[in-house]
A = this chain, B = another copy of it.
Amino acid sequence: MTTAVLAGGVGAAKFLAGLVLAVEPASVTAIVNVADDTILHGLHISPDLDTVTYTLAGAVNPETGWGLAGESWQAMEQLARLGGDPWFRLGDRDLGTHLYRTGRLVDGATLSEVTAEIATGMGLACRLLPATDDSLRTMVTLASGEEVDFQTYFVARQHADEVASIRFDGWPAAGAAPGVLDAIRTAEVVVIAPSNPVVSIGPLLAVDGIEGAVVEARDRVVAISPIVAGAALKGPADRLLQQLGHEPTVVGVARLYAPLCSTLVIDEADADLAGAVETEGVRCVVTDTIMRSPEVSAALARTVLAAGAAGAGDRAPEA
């Protein structure tokens, strides 16, 4: 069964690590948010791509869910010694990835090409695509009126500020990377990973053509709620939803995603909201979505694929 997964960082990476246990890895295409990308010290950093890659390679730092296991910090120590501010902590091994990516981009390679090379180098068997090869950057306007880039909001200020609005610099020019729209159109199931709807899935949909392709595939699109019991498992998704006028519950997620997906998978903790979710116009599947281990992720993946196949099946007779 071919799948295409719209992916942010840690939550998506955990889901993908289960998915490649549940199905043939070569049948999986992850379409990854790059609107968190940033240039630091002249290096091109792609946090979500790296989190997904490192996780699928079994190389991720298990304590943080991002970065590499067994990392060292000599470069950051030297940077600090010189008076630099290592607010965005780049480990020594991780720097090897950024050096490789930056060098190849300077040589004229596209982000898609480099991403594929890194995935191969890390031994990945599934396909990883950046959503776009163009520049698309999440910009955050704070309640104070100040606009900052995503990493300043997220890392430097630890997503503590109240957010007034989000925009994507580079929209609407940014076009889908090669293979992205095809992957969505041809996948038997399209998954919206349990990522931040506003700053991970939002910029994916802002790439020219992606939202349209997802809407067209709606019958076989399954979303997994990143909100469990009214809170994000990680990061500021709950607060962001609320600050931007959405309900930070599975019902709010259903309302946001109803145009895109025919099924929303929610956690058992929210079982009592299944009816309210369906009132928003999506089927609701209740299961364990807390991905404590790759085995739990794989079970979640099987449930998601079954729901997607059922959705596609519903449509089939009409076709």
Contacts and interface: CB of A to CB of B under 8 A. Distances in A.
Contacts of A268: none
Interface in A77-97: 77-84, 90-97
7 contacts: A78-B94, A81-B96, A82-B97, A83-B100, A83-B117, A84-B96, A84-B100
Main secondary structure of the interface of A (DSSP, over half): helix
A79 B100 contact: yes
Given A43-B99, A43-B102, A75-B75, 11 more contacts: A40-B99, A42-B43, A42-B99, A72-B92, A78-B94, A81-B96, A81-B121, A82-B122, A83-B100, A90-B99, A92-B92
Interface of A: 39-44, 68, 71-72, 74-84, 90-100, 102-103, 105-106, 117-118, 120-122
Contact of A78 (B81, B97, B105): B97
A100 B43 contact: no
A75 B96 contact: yes
Nearest to A90: B99
A92 B75 contact: yes
A121 B78 CA distance: 9
B75 A95 contact: yes
Contact of A93 (B78, B83, B91, B106): B78
Contacts of A79: 96-97, 99-100
A92 B106 contact: no
A99 B75 contact: yes
